[in-house]
Homo-oligomer: A and B are copies of this chain.
Amino acid sequence: MVLRVRKNQAPPTPEGCPLTECMSVLGGAWTPNIIWYLSAGPRRFSELRLDIPGVSAKVLTARLRSLEASGVISREVKPTSPPSVEYALTDLGEELIPAINAIVKVGHKLKMREAVVQA
């Protein structure tokens, strides 16, 4: 019996897979968390550190720089003392919110399943 490769209905992800594209933006550690917390409004560096226990200053800086380069967040230095820096989602960043919400939703289902498996 010969096994043939079946044609499936999945759109053939043409030039440069948008899935891979988007995952490269929100792929790093803590990245989705950062977007999640910014979705509630602008936030300062140290506030984000408190929001996300476990993230190091180094990684948080790296993520914020990378997200800024992707055009997902904006960075605004306020002339306060000590100086404070406010990060916020751009219009493009706001587009990520539904994706993040969908992921959170599945996260809940996963946790529920885990609870069942435990029992």
Is A77 part of the binding interface, using a Cβ–Cβ cutoff of 8 Å? no
CB distance from A65 to the nearest CB of B (A): 17
- Check if A106 sits within 8 Å of B102, measured CB to CB: no
- Check if B105 sits within 8 Å of A92, measured CB to CB: no
Decide yes or no: A82 and B10 within 8 Å by CB, A71-B113, A92-B109, A113-B71 being known contacts: no
A104: chain B residues at CB < 8 Å are 18-19, 22
* Cα-based distance from A108 to B111 in the complex (angstroms): 30
- Check if A106 sits within 8 Å of B95, measured CB to CB: yes
- Check if A81 sits within 8 Å of B18, measured CB to CB: no
* Cα-based distance from A73 to B108 in the complex (angstroms): 18
* Cα-based distance from A5 to B84 in the complex (angstroms): 11
A5: chain B residues at CB < 8 Å are 46-47, 50
- Check if B81 sits within 8 Å of A1, measured CB to CB: yes
- Check if B103 sits within 8 Å of A3, measured CB to CB: no
Interface residues of A in 21-39 (CB under 8 A from B): 21-23, 25-27, 32-33, 36-37, 39
A98: chain B residues at CB < 8 Å are 102, 105
- Check if B81 sits within 8 Å of A22, measured CB to CB: no
